[in-house]
Amino acid sequence: MLDSVVIEVIGGRGGHGYVSFHREKFVPKGGPDGGDGGRGGDVYLRAVDDVYTLEQYRSRRRFEAGPGGNGAANLKHGADGEDLVLDVPVGTVVIDEASGDVIADLKRPGQRVLVARGGRGGWGNKRFATSTNQAPHYSQKGEPGQRVVLRLELRLLADVGLLGLPNAGKSTLLAAVSNAKPKIAAYPFTTLEPMLGVVEVGWERFTLADLPGLIEGASEGYGLGFEFLKHVRRCRVLAHLVDCTSPDPVTDYELIRGELRAYDPSLDSIPEVLVVTKADLDGEAAQRAAALLTDHTGRETFVISALERQGLEPLVARLMELVRAAREAEAARGVESVPVLRPAPQERFRVVREGDGRFAVEGERVVRFVEMTDTGMEGAEDEIVRRLERWGVAKALRRAGVRPGDRVRFGSVELVWQPEAAAAEALEMEEG
Per residue in 216-251, pLDDT tens?
433 333 334 345 666 777 788 999 999 998 889 999
- Bridge pairing between strands 272-277 and 195-201: unpaired
Give the pLDDT band (50/70/90) at residue 148: very high
287's CB contacts (< 8 A; 6+ apart) are 303
Give the CA-trace dihedral at 74, 77, 78, 79, to 10 degrees: -130
CATH fourth-level superfamily of 1-155: GTP1/OBG domain (2.70.210.12)
Q: What percent of the chain has pLDDT over 90?
A: 32
Among 66-75, 213-222, 249-258, 277-286, the least confident range: 213-222
Phi, psi (5° rounding) for residue 290? -65, -40
Summarize pLDDT for 309-332 with one digit per residue, the tens: 899 999 999 999 999 998 888 777
Q: Where in the chain is the domain with CATH 3.30.300.350?
A: 350-431
**CATH 3.40.50.300 assigned to 158-333:** yes
What is the fold of 350-431?
A: GMP Synthetase; Chain A, domain 3 (3.30.300)
In this structure, the number of other CB atoms found within 10 A of the CB of residue 260 comes to 24
Q: How far apart are CA 56 and CA 46, in angstroms?
A: 14
Average pLDDT, the chain: 82
Give the pLDDT band (50/70/90) at residue 337: very low
Q: Where in the chain is the domain with CATH 2.70.210.12?
A: 1-155
| 51 vs 301, higher pLDDT | 301
CA angle, residues 107, 108, 112, in degrees to nearest 5: 90
Q: Which residues pair with 205 in a beta bridge?
A: 200
